[in-house]
Amino acid sequence: MLVDSHCHLDFPDLAEDLDEVVARARQAGVGHMLTICTHVTRFERVLAVARRFEGVDCTVGIHPHEAGKEPETSAETLMALADDPKVIGFGETGLDFFYEHSPRDAQERSFRQHIRAARESGLPVIVHTRDADTDTVRILGEEQAEGAFPGLIHCFSSSAQLAERAVELGMMVSISGIVTFKKAEALRETVRALPLDHLLVETDAPYLAPVPKRGKRNEPAFTAYTAATVAEVKGVSEAELARATTDNFFRLFTKARRPAAVAAAE
């Protein structure tokens, strides 16, 4: 079984044929999906999708692009929304200095509130970082000094130094379809060096479809292509990669319910 640890099933690109999208994921061996919240004001829509399907959970959070537009949201509010059994983490949150759709100070304040929610609840924080490695490392380090919290860097495409620091802080690193791109050799080198027990796989659907689907709408079924490339890079079988990344997901997201068939097989 594979887990798509980061997708956006509530986005309009997937909504028109969502039943078929989920069915294709099952057929491709993707037994669990995590659909990610980007606007706290749209959280109910995200939660409704998670409630609709067995084996789909969700998060609550504010994407850094939206940090200056969404209501400023406290850790207490995030934790209250996470009371639902289908809500298993916070985010995505973090820093994006490439587009800077929101002011940097608003991004940082929001990021820290999500981290505080993770620390106080024990649920992981899902971190988005782009062109912001230095500040991401600074904030993660400062917040870890206040007390440990679980989390992951999603859709990883940053420096090897950020990956190493994330592992030092006990975080997971999630790999998207970018790893299959022809010009992503530096990312493949980073993946090769990362410990297998710190890796997850994801689609970030409907974006970033992997080779050989690049240019098309991405969907959770395509997790299999990313996983195959990661397995090749790591020098392990696809079955071993699937077992490891699935184990890593359920070890990190302790609130998620592992499918009965997989749990029984172990």
Secondary structure letter of residue 71 according to DSSP = P
- Three-class SS of residue 34? strand
- Three-class SS of residue 55? coil
Question: Which pair of tokens denotes residue 75?
Answer: 């850790």
Q: Is 29 left (phi over 0), alpha (psi -120 to 50) or beta?
A: left
Q: Which helix (H) or strand (E) holds 110?
A: helix 104-121
Task: Tell me if 92 is assigned to a ligand binding site.
Answer: yes
HSE-up of residue 131 (Cα within 13 Å, Cβ side): 7
**Under 8 Å CB-to-CB from 187, ≥6 apart: which residues?**
156, 157, 175, 178, 179
Residue 51 CA to residue 85 CA, distance in Å, equals 9
Task: Tell me if 6 is assigned to a ligand binding site.
Answer: yes
Task: Tell me if 39 is assigned to a ligand binding site.
Answer: no
Task: Tell me if 65 is assigned to a ligand binding site.
Answer: no
Residue 186 CA to residue 65 CA, distance in Å, equals 26
Task: Tell me if 128 is assigned to a ligand binding site.
Answer: yes
Task: Tell me if 266 is assigned to a ligand binding site.
Answer: no
Residue 63 CA to residue 127 CA, distance in Å, equals 9
* Residue list for the binding site: 6, 8, 92, 128, 154, 204
* Residue list for the binding site for a divalent metal cation: 6, 8, 92, 128, 154, 204
